[in-house]
């Protein structure tokens, strides 16, 4: 089972037909396409700072009022999303077959995560994949884990998926659920 299988399994378990979702990092748009097919009557927002990522995502979808692609940093989420959300996903790192110098960063990831947690509906979920194999990814993973450990257990469930027997810094997955009635 790879990281993508775990993330997609969580998506299938948690995203409902009418869910309001956000892909915090579009990249090639694969997560957004997967989400869109689950939230068939919901709404999907997607962020990326690179125009090439927005373009690659557009090529995979049909234009729809249910999808809003935003060419800006996810730190500015409050400027664009004025409703609570049911599901959010981060696939951190750099764009596959893109510029490897443009990667997500600890500051913007942590800032946006705190805003996103405040926007999460009861019963809502956030899934984060980290890639500790490169320097920024290693720092992101440490900060995310440290922060998630501090969340109040009466408000959030936090699960952590780790490959204990894989070499070369494999990806990790964090699954956060806001406890309470849906
Ligand atoms: C690993 S890719 C995302 C993979 C994607 N989820 C997929 O399914 O293909 C990383 C992306 O993060 C984007 N990125 C970096 N910093 C960002 C930020 N502050 N806000 C939004 N996107 C950012 C980069 O432009 C790059 O496209």
Q: Which one is predicted more confidently, 146 or 98?
A: 146
Q: 81-136, pLDDT tens digit by residue? A: 999 999 999 999 877 776 777 888 999 999 999 999 999 999 999 999 999 998 88
| 182 has a pLDDT exceeding 50 | no
* Separation of CA 93 and ligand 1 centre (Å): 7
Nearest ligand 1 atom to the CA of 47 is 21
pLDDT, residue 9, reads 98
pLDDT, residue 100, reads 72
153 φ, ψ (degrees, to nearest 5): -65, -20
pTM (predicted TM-score):
0.95
Nearest ligand 1 atom to the CA of 94 is 10
Half-sphere exposure of 38 (CA within 13 A, CB side): 22
Nearest ligand 1 atom to the CA of 53 is 27
How much is the average pLDDT of 148-173? 96
Minimum CA distance residue for ligand 1 atom 16:
104
61 φ, ψ (degrees, to nearest 5): -130, 160
Q: Beginning with the edge strand found earlier in the chain, give each strand of the sheet holding 20-23 in spatial order.
A: 67-70, 43-47, 20-23, 85-91, 120-130, 172-178, 156-161
pLDDT, residue 55, reads 96
* Separation of CA 166 and ligand 1 centre (Å): 25
Q: 19-30, pLDDT tens digit by residue? A: 999 999 999 999
96, exposed or middle or buried, with CB in 10 Å at 0-12, 13-18, 19+? exposed
* Span between the terminal Cα atoms of the chain, in Å: 29
Q: If you average pLDDT over every residue of the chain, what do you get?
A: 95
* Separation of CA 36 and ligand 1 centre (Å): 18
Closest CA to 47 of 101, 97, 111: 111
Within 6 A (CB) of ligand 1 lie 25-28, 30-31, 47-50, 53, 73-75, 91, 93-95, 102, 104, 108
Residue among 8, 11, 27, 99 whose CB has most ligand 1 atoms within 8 A, to mutate: 27
Residue 33 near residue 61 (C-beta atoms within 8 A): yes
How much is the average pLDDT of 55-63? 95
């Amino acid at each position: 089972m790879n990281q993508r299988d775990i993330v997609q399994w969580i998506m299938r378990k948690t995203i409902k037909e009418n869910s309001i979702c956000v892909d915090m990092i579009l990249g090639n748009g694969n997560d957004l396409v997967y989400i869109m097919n689950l939230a068939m009557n919901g709404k999907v927002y997607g962020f990326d700072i690179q125009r090439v990522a927005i373009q690659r995502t557009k090529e995979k979808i049909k234009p729809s009022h249910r999808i809003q692609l935003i060419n800006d940093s996810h730190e500015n989420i409050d400027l664009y999303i004025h409703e609570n959300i049911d599901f959010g996903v981060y696939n951190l790192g750099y764009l596959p077959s893109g510029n490897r110098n443009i990667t997500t960063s600890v500051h913007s990831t942590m800032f946006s995560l705190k805003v996103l947690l405040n926007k999460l509906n009861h019963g809502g979920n956030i899934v984060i994949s980290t890639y500790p194999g490169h320097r920024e990814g290693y720092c992101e993973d440490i900060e995310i884990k440290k922060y998630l450990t501090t969340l109040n257990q009466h408000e959030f469930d936090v699960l952590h998926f780790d490959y204990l027997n894989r070499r070369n810094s494999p990806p990790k997955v964090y699954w956060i659920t806001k406890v309470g009635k849906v």
